[in-house]
Amino acid sequence: MTFTPDSGGYGAPQPNPNQPNPYQANPYQPQQQYQQPQQHPFQPFQQRPVRSRGLGSILTIGVAGLGVVNFLLGFAPFAKEDPKVTSSGIFGSDSMNFFDNASLGAGIVGIALLLLAGVMAGLGLLPNQVPNNVVVAAVSITGFVTLVFTLIGLSEGLEVGVGLIFVIVFGFIQAACAVAVLVLGSAALTPAAPAMNYNVPSPGFGQ
């Protein structure tokens, strides 16, 4: 004897169409979606420290030290008399320093500008102080250029003194260090390129 599904015997029970199936999604009930938090594709850049460490600090100390050295070289001979042109002793001696050239004041202006740049660089190294690298570089370059034109414009009957030569050489080194500090500071402030995030999650089902 066989039992058919419709006979109500020992066959498998037939599903009731009015009874909800727990394994089937209900189209009328909103489904809870689990999505990862959406991230912005452009990551914000992080600004690097303003004050450069290492080489920048060493160069800044060099600018400060050279500014003082260049000013002290003002006591060295700025110019000396050319014995082939004059022997009247217009300076009262064979040579004069930067502080004696009252009629040639460009020399003392040059070393004063180098000292000003050195003092500003040194003050920028103090705690809680923001270094002004642009002004230090500008003043250092101005002082160096002033001394170069002072050398070019020496009056007739004068020869360049050893003090002016040393100040021009050290002034060039000071200006170069100041420009290097400015370049390093500008590179430290340059923002990094924003990183592209290609793992942007796609919209979930039903959105």
Residue 26 C-alpha from the chain's centroid: 62
- Work out how many domains the chain is built from and give that number: 1
Q: How many helices (H) and strands (E) would you count in the chain?
A: 4, 3
Residue 136 lies in a domain: yes
- Dihedral angle at the C-alpha atoms of 125, 126, 129, 131, nearest 10 degrees? -20
Residue 113 lies in a domain: yes
Q: Is 89:96 a contact under the CB 8 Å cutoff?
A: no
Residue 131 lies in a domain: yes
pLDDT tens string 60-112: 999 999 999 999 998 888 888 776 665 555 555 677 788 875 545 778 899 99
Residue 33 lies in a domain: no
Note the pLDDT of residue 128: 87
Q: Is 35:181 a contact under the CB 8 Å cutoff?
A: no
Q: Which domain holds residue 108?
A: 55-79+96-189
Residue 102 lies in a domain: yes
User: CA 60, CA 51: separation in Å to the nearest integer?
Assistant: 11
Residue 137 CA: distances (Å) to CA of 56, 59, 170? 13, 12, 14
Angle between helices 133-152 and 55-72 (to 10 degrees): 40
Residue 139 lies in a domain: yes
Divide the 207 residues of the chain into consecutive groups of 10 and give the mean pLDDT of each group.
Answer: 53 61 58 55 48 77 94 87 62 73 71 94 89 92 93 81 92 95 76 56 54
Residue 43 lies in a domain: no
Note the pLDDT of residue 5: 54
pTM for the full predicted model: 0.62
Query: Helix (H, G, I), strand (E, B), or coil: what is residue 97?
Result: strand
Note the pLDDT of residue 48: 46
Closest-CA residue to 178 (of 151, 148, 149, 144):
144
Note the pLDDT of residue 20: 60
Residue 11 lies in a domain: no
Q: Is 153:96 a contact under the CB 8 Å cutoff?
A: no
